Amino acid sequence: MLGFYLFCIYVAVLCLLVGSGPRDRQEKWWVEVVTDLPRCTYYFGPFDSDKEASSNTPGYIEDLESEGARRVSIRIKRCQPSELTICESEAMQF
């Protein structure tokens, strides 16, 4: 699991270094993966095209599945996520 979190941090830092302005980042493509175990939404990107995002998707799925995640859905869309990993279980912990 540590490897996956380090990967997410790498993606976040890369996003900060690559983006040149708010408008540029809004027009990028992202891979959204929603899993049911754990109940999380993951964002991977940004990419310059939907084809580039699509071609990178298998690697992200392999990483998540190797950590025991069960996939619910994958979407490739234009957006600017405020968080790269959103887990409901973390929000429900006391």
Distance CA 59, CA 22 (A): 27
Q: Which residues neighbour 92 within 8 Å (Cβ) at sequence distance 6 or greater?
A: none
Q: Give residue-wise pLDDT tens across range 21-57.
A: 555 445 899 999 999 999 999 999 999 999 999 999 9
What mean pLDDT comes out for the span 66-92? 88
* pTM tops 0.85, yes or no: no
Q: Give residue-wise pLDDT tens across range 48-63.
A: 999 999 999 999 999 9
> Is residue 73 within 8 Å of residue 34, measured between CB atoms?
yes
